[in-house]
Chains A and B, each alone.
Chain A
């Protein structure tokens, strides 16, 4: 979230699209009802199903799953055509006036530089034009034909209300009503927030859907303001923290990135990540990259990381490509992997195409599962009848299952969707011999280190030299680790402005990332968390819920990254001179000498706004990008492509270009392409979803929730039920080209057939919560049905749009 849960109450308009907060995040959704009750806010829901969020919305419109870019692109068209944009904001805080290089082009669904063979783009033409001074050329009058404003307008001119009706199945009248409501927030006194979740991420074009919505928010001036923002409602208690800590193939903590294999030179690695400003007097904060990086290397390798060995640069593995979950399972199927460790993760249920996951795990030599619960993954080899029909004698994988503690049995911090790090405390010991993940990871490390110390082996250096300063090496404490990722001084730190003054003594915790150095005198295992455990103690444990300004920021409750800031980009809530656009909802402001207010300013604290520094300080432009440059793989502007399993034969936006039917750069492995189904055999559009009574695949192990929703069902509309001759409560069989499930039919009025490109499209809703282990009635894992294709940038699988056939069981 750019903003946070309580801030939703400041909104005048709430758009829930690509999510269902009333069902999936009800205690956060309370702030929507708060906004409705006390701020006269209106709620709009756009979703294939009439969800529980829709049930209390002021306005609801249905949409065919996977077509959100058409809808949002048409909103952009509406805003530009009707001149409903926040002019001062877009002129000063976005790249609308920037001029794009000659050579950039878009034709029939494809951008310049496409290589159909490699299924990727040469992105060199997707950039701004630079002047002789090295800065981007701009045209503040927006007259230049290649300025971003004109390219944007041209691109989305094809996204008309007629096209929305034809592709999304949303009738024009409903679309126009919603576009008008959204446009009403272009004024400085009205704010719209957008709330989304897996309904936007789990598509082959998910990242571009989200980007398209962010562009709408930028045009309206809704980013960086109270009650605004792009608010991803994340699905697990610490999925945000694990992302922040970089536990992904290509990341290091704090969104630092691992080097690619071509990056053999340390100085060049740093320089590539510390961009010079693209406009005069811009902060381009990543110029401090080396301070964050060196402080991390000191946290990991301590005294062994020195200036002479480039702070241990050689010890970091170098990437040839990013190895996401989908690729890992493909490599298992190719026999190229031997071992897999699953820590509190149930990939047999979470990965697409369960049959492929079973086949992959069956080719491993060893699988290690750490979990508080008996997951399906740990029992993938066991025959559970129709729900997991395998032959254990043919599966040669060794499996270790290690019992872990859970939240109630440990101290530590979770990061919520609003970036708050909140500390919690242990209430009891875990059952039986179960241990904390800290003890298990430490136990494995100390054993492996000992083996390398005594026997040697392949490249032992990064292992035997790892800093391990914990009082009990076999069981580091949460406090020790939190202090380490937050950071401390290794030497007395002199004030850069007055070297006679010491700002931190050696050993003292640091107050924030501004104190980090790249000379090896500081450690911080995750720079964006720096200050969470500061000189005054553990700020994550703070419990002062007072809200003196009344805007809901509670700055002394827990601690938010970065720098305890609650609303990102909050400098953009003020005009160019530093006065709040909306004085009634002031976040920060310039008082002539400094920035301050109800939040920690997202800006250089003493920067006179007259100098023109932009509010998007992490970008070298200093302003937000409506033209994404090379940051996205499909192109600088989001373009609609159909889901990989689509009921349509052609993409109505680009009917003559078959390469533009689906995402032209999505990675599809050969066998997976063959496993895609076509609409002649699989005529119904399926979308997975979640219920408020269950949490993913966990709560089927929980008695109360198993009682509330005991049995697997699928949801179909009345028209489809009639067509296939099924009554509510009867069983249906749902088949995709990859497998089938059977379940009880829930026949509802919540899903209506849509008229799309001249044909009737029925949608089937498939809740994901059942499986073959747990307390609830056993059932099929829903991913038995789903296709293996990921988003073109994140490789998040397309669980929200695929084809099935529903029939009476």
Chain B
């Protein structure tokens, strides 16, 4: 059986058989074992996305387990280059090829945290607690330091004691909403990654 081609193997077993049981049956041709991906992806959902690193913006295909049924939680198990994409035509570089490890990085943050003045540790807080306290801090600083008029009496309506750095890997929609929320508060200390 060891010289069986991949095509013959699939013909024989049918593409719906599960890999692990085949191994037990002694059905283990070398090329077929090297093709675990085929089996995994057969029951995955394909989603189209864009590599979040450099601005070549390669098309990627993400495969997730879970069929979008209500109780099925999607889990991305594989990412590869999109062969239809006119720029990358299926290719990815070492960064893009490692995207799955970015999605599942051990450094992913999973809950809001707070570090108190002088403390050497994080403490977990709830979203409501975090957003309520941040809103209070922003409003208090704005109310205390808002500049309605400059020394010449000109109307300037600016707030320059708080600043913001905006993202470079977030969507247009995030960028647009962030600008729409922050500028009307009078924010001028406002920058993004394009500067550096």
Contacts and interface: CB of A to CB of B under 8 A. Distances in A.
A552 B89 CA distance: 13
A421 interface: yes
Contacts, number: 478
Contacts of B52: 237, 406-407, 414
B17 interface: no
B86 to A, nearest CB: 5
Contact of B56 (A5, A319, A368, A457): A5
Report the contact-size class of chain B (Cβ under 8 Å from the partner): 35 or more
Contacts of A55: none
B101 A703 contact: yes
Contacts of A27: 56, 58, 81, 87-88, 91-93, 96
B50 A253 contact: no
Contacts of B191: 247-249, 323-325, 328
Given A6-B87, A701-B105, A317 B167 contact: no
Contacts of B31: none
B137 A365 contact: yes
Given A314-B155, A338-B161, A382 B56 contact: no
Nearest to B73: A429
Given A485-B172, A693-B94, A245 B179 contact: yes
B166 A424 contact: no
Given A234-B54, A318-B157, A529-B172, A701 B138 contact: no
Contacts of A236: 53-55, 168-169, 193
A287 interface: no
Interface in A235-276: 235-249, 252-253, 258, 261-262, 264
Nearest to A448: B135
Interface in B35-90: 45, 47-59, 62, 64, 66, 73-76, 79, 81, 84-89
B169 A406 contact: yes
Interface string A325-341: 10110010000111111
A526 interface: yes
A320 B105 CA distance: 43
Contacts of B161: 336-339
Interface string B146-179: 1010101011111111111111111111111111
A278 interface: no
Given A30-B91, A343-B167, A466-B184, A437 B174 contact: yes
B189 interface: yes
A493 to B, nearest CB: 23
A234 B55 CA distance: 6
Contacts of B94: 692-693, 704-705, 708
Nearest to B79: A408
A459 to B, nearest CB: 6
Contacts of A341: 162-165
Contacts of B6: none
A705 B95 contact: yes
Interface string A516-527: 000000000110
B138 A339 contact: yes
Given A253-B179, A347-B165, A445-B181, A412 B174 contact: yes
A340 B192 CA distance: 13
Contact of B163 (A339, A417, A458): A339
B74 A403 contact: no
A392 B122 CA distance: 12
Main secondary structure of the interface of B (DSSP, over half): mixed
B55 A424 contact: no
Interface stretch (A69-77, A81-89, A633-641, A792-800): A792-800
Given A237-B55, A428-B64, A459 B188 contact: no
Contact of B127 (A315, A426, A433, A698): A433
A339 B137 contact: yes
Contacts of A240: 55
Nearest to A445: B181
Output the residue of A252, A331, A345, A398 with the most chain B CB within 10 A.
A345
A316 B188 CA distance: 10
A393 interface: yes
Contacts of B177: 437-438, 441-442, 476, 481
A403 B174 contact: no
A328 B112 CA distance: 26
Output the residue of A425, A437, A463, A774 with the most chain B CB within 10 A.
A437
B108 interface: yes
Contacts of B168: 235-239, 242, 344-345
B162 A526 contact: no
A522 B173 CA distance: 19
Contact of B192 (A243, A401, A447): A243
A435 interface: yes
B142 A28 contact: no
A373 B186 contact: no
Interface stretch (B7-15, B18-26, B113-121): B113-121
A702 B101 contact: yes
Contacts of A412: 170-174
Contacts of B167: 238, 242, 343-345, 370, 437
Contacts of B183: 252, 316-317
A243 B103 CA distance: 26
A417 B57 CA distance: 8
Contacts of B54: 24-25, 28, 233-237, 695
A484 to B, nearest CB: 7
A408 B49 contact: yes
Contacts of B53: 236-237, 695, 698
A572 B84 CA distance: 31
Given A27-B91, A243-B192, A425 B49 contact: yes
A481 B118 contact: no
B181 A242 contact: no
Nearest to B85: A545
Output the residue of B133, B188, B196 with the most chain A CB within 10 A.
B196
Contact of B157 (A316, A371, A426, A693): A316
A702 B79 CA distance: 14
Contact of B188 (A249, A383, A421, A545): A249
Contact of A340 (B143, B162, B195): B162
B64 A427 contact: yes
Contacts of A463: 184-185
Nearest to A202: B196
A5 B86 CA distance: 9
A543 interface: yes
A721 B150 CA distance: 57
Interface in B119-133: 119-120, 122, 127, 130-133
A694 interface: yes
A623 to B, nearest CB: 28
B47 A401 contact: no
B86 A6 contact: yes
A398 B55 contact: no
A396 B117 contact: yes
Output the residue of B111, B114, B136, B157 with the most chain A CB within 10 A.
B157
A131 B135 CA distance: 57
A452 B157 contact: no
Contacts of B76: 408, 427-428
A632 interface: no
Contacts of A414: 50, 52, 55, 57, 171-172
A433 B64 contact: no
Given A27-B93, A407-B49, A774-B107, A350 B196 contact: yes
The 10 tightest CB contacts between A and B, nearest first, are A432-B110, A412-B171, A344-B167, A704-B98, A403-B109, A416-B57, A236-B168, A458-B146, A339-B162, A447-B135
21 contacts: A238-B55, A247-B179, A340-B162, A341-B163, A342-B165, A343-B170, A374-B107, A393-B118, A399-B115, A402-B109, A408-B79, A408-B99, A414-B52, A414-B171, A426-B47, A545-B86, A554-B86, A692-B94, A704-B94, A773-B107, A797-B196
Given A248-B192, A400-B113, A701-B107, 10 more contacts: A25-B55, A237-B169, A319-B188, A343-B166, A345-B165, A345-B166, A416-B55, A424-B48, A448-B135, A459-B146
